[in-house]
Amino acid sequence: MRTYARITGWGKYLPEKILTNYDLEKMVSTSDDWIRSRTGIGERRIAGEQESASTMGTEAARLALEMAEVLPHELDLIIVSTSTPDNVFPACASLVQNALGATRAGAFDVNAACTGWLCALAVGSQFIANGVYRNVLIVGSDVYSRVLDWSDRNTCILFGDGAGAVVLQASDVPSGPLGFVLGSDGAGGVHVYAHNYFGAAGGRPHKGRPYLEMNGREVYKFAVKVVCEATSQIVAEAGLKLADVDLFVFHQANDRIIRAAVKTLDIPLEKVLINLDVYGNTSSASIPIALCDAVERGMLKDGSRVVMVAFGAGLSWGASIVQWGVREEAFSPARQAFSPNAIPVMESRG
């Protein structure tokens, strides 16, 4: 019997500080009209001095665990997707593990920039599908405000900080991620990148802050192309048609990219989640935050088929189709007995 990685909990965290386009007008040569017309973004969240990828990821994880009614020490594995970790090492996932008290869980990071969370979801799903683990936490968390050149209006207007997380649990009911498409074109890595402090092979260590650099025109052309191709591919591999999909969650990078893909694919805009107007591009946190918003807006319910597509530095891209479903009758007695201060007795535990 096949084992599925059912999504049973989700959570998001956004910093309190809001940076509006009008605030940016005072910092760099730009305007609210200029930003909105080119990106669709109106505001974004900025992490506080005491916040980081691990602290934000931990808060999103706590909400996901509470939703799933899973205690931290029941977790088998924690995977954090981030390209802005607290440190080069230890892994951000290890910091999240410690903060949660998930003493049984293995922990490691995945870095595929904005595509990272889908890559982490693919990895975590395989551990469950192969029968290795039963409870896996997948976190996406980024603080791009720390790697932006705030004098560069072409990049500083795009990004915001935030985190999102889901809990995956083993299930014999067809649900959760049903397939993945992952791709990379390393030749395009020159179009969006950030230096590190150690330099490239044979080079000298980078001096100063490792600012993000991006060729917006090339990234735009790449993004529209791969969003359309990856969406069509994942739906076809699932034996479905675009009309069979209830919700499309595309990486929230630019409203023009999303709308161009929607037009090319000829899908109804009402089936597409868009929240970049208030969050900006939160990198690997983009899709899990969007999933949370989709539930809050009533766009995602038990039984929904959702297609998720991301793209980013690498150049990288990924897609997944998910059968959304949260509750199982076999789990209901344990769920009703759940207490945050006690371990629920679940007969289905392996």
Nearest to 135 by CA among 175, 169, 165, 101: 169
Identify the DSSP state of 173. Answer: S
Distance between CA atoms of residues 53 and 23, nearest Å? 24
Average pLDDT, integer, range 259-287: 98
Separation between Cα atoms, residue 113 and residue 86, nearest integer Å: 15
% of residues, the chain, pLDDT over 90: 86
pLDDT of residue 208: 67
Nearest CA to 265 among 239, 233, 295, 297?
A: 233
Position 111 pLDDT exceeds 90: yes
Q: Is the dihedral of CA 285, 286, 290, 291 positive or negative?
A: negative
CA distance 309 to 330: 32
pLDDT for res 291: 98
Of 120, 118, 136, nearest in space to 65 by CA = 136
Six token digits for residue 33: 């009209």
- Please state, in angstroms and rounded to a whole number, the distance separating the CA atoms of residues 326 and 289: 17
The reply to whether omega before 90 is within 30° of 0 (cis) is: yes
Q: Which of 195, 254, 281, 292 is catalytic?
A: 281
Mean pLDDT of 309-322: 98
**For the chain, which domains are there?**
4-173 (3.40.47.10), 178-323 (3.40.47.10)
- Residue 267 CA to residue 229 CA, distance in Å, equals 14
Burial of 200 from C-beta contacts in 10 A (0-12 / 13-18 / 19+): exposed
Confidence category of residue 195, pLDDT binned at 50, 70, 90: confident
Our answer to whether residue 114 is catalytic in this structure is: yes
Are 9 and 64 in contact by the 8 Å Cβ rule? The answer is yes
Examine the pLDDT at 341 and tell me if it is beyond 90.
no
Q: pLDDT confidence of 284, banded at 50, 70, 90?
A: very high
87 is catalytic: no
| Token digits of residue 238 | 């699932």
Nearest to 162 by CA among 14, 339, 343: 14
Range 89-112 average pLDDT: 98
| R_g of the chain, CA atoms, integer Å | 20
Which entry of 111, 251, 275, 292 is annotated as an active-site residue?
251
* pLDDT higher than 90, residue 38: yes
Rounded CA-CA distance 162/281 in Å is 9
Separation of CA 158 from chain center: 16
pLDDT at 261: 98
pLDDT score of 171 more than 90 = yes
H-assigned helices in 69-157:
92-100, 116-129, 153-156
Q: What average pLDDT does the segment 156-177 reach?
A: 96
- Cβ contact 112:318 at 8 Å: yes
92, 114, 119, 156: which one is catalytic?
114
The whole-number pLDDT of residue 345 equals: 26
pLDDT of residue 204: 60
- Stretch 123-150: mean pLDDT, rounded? 97
35's tokens? 């930003």
Per-residue model confidence (pLDDT) at position 18? 98
Looking at residue 175, its pLDDT comes to 92
| 281 has catalytic annotation | yes
pLDDT tens string 317-339: 999 999 998 765 433 333 333 33
**pLDDT tops 60 at residue 342:** no
Look at residue 20 and tell me whether its pLDDT is greater than 80. yes
Question: Which residues lie across from 225 on neighbouring strands?
Answer: none
Q: Quick check: helix, strand or coil at residue 40?
A: coil
The pLDDT score that the predictor gives to residue 325 is: 85
Phi-psi sector, 31: left (phi>0), alpha (psi -120 to 50), beta: beta
pLDDT, greater one: 325 or 30 = 30
Q: Examine the pLDDT at 199 and tell me if it is beyond 90.
A: no
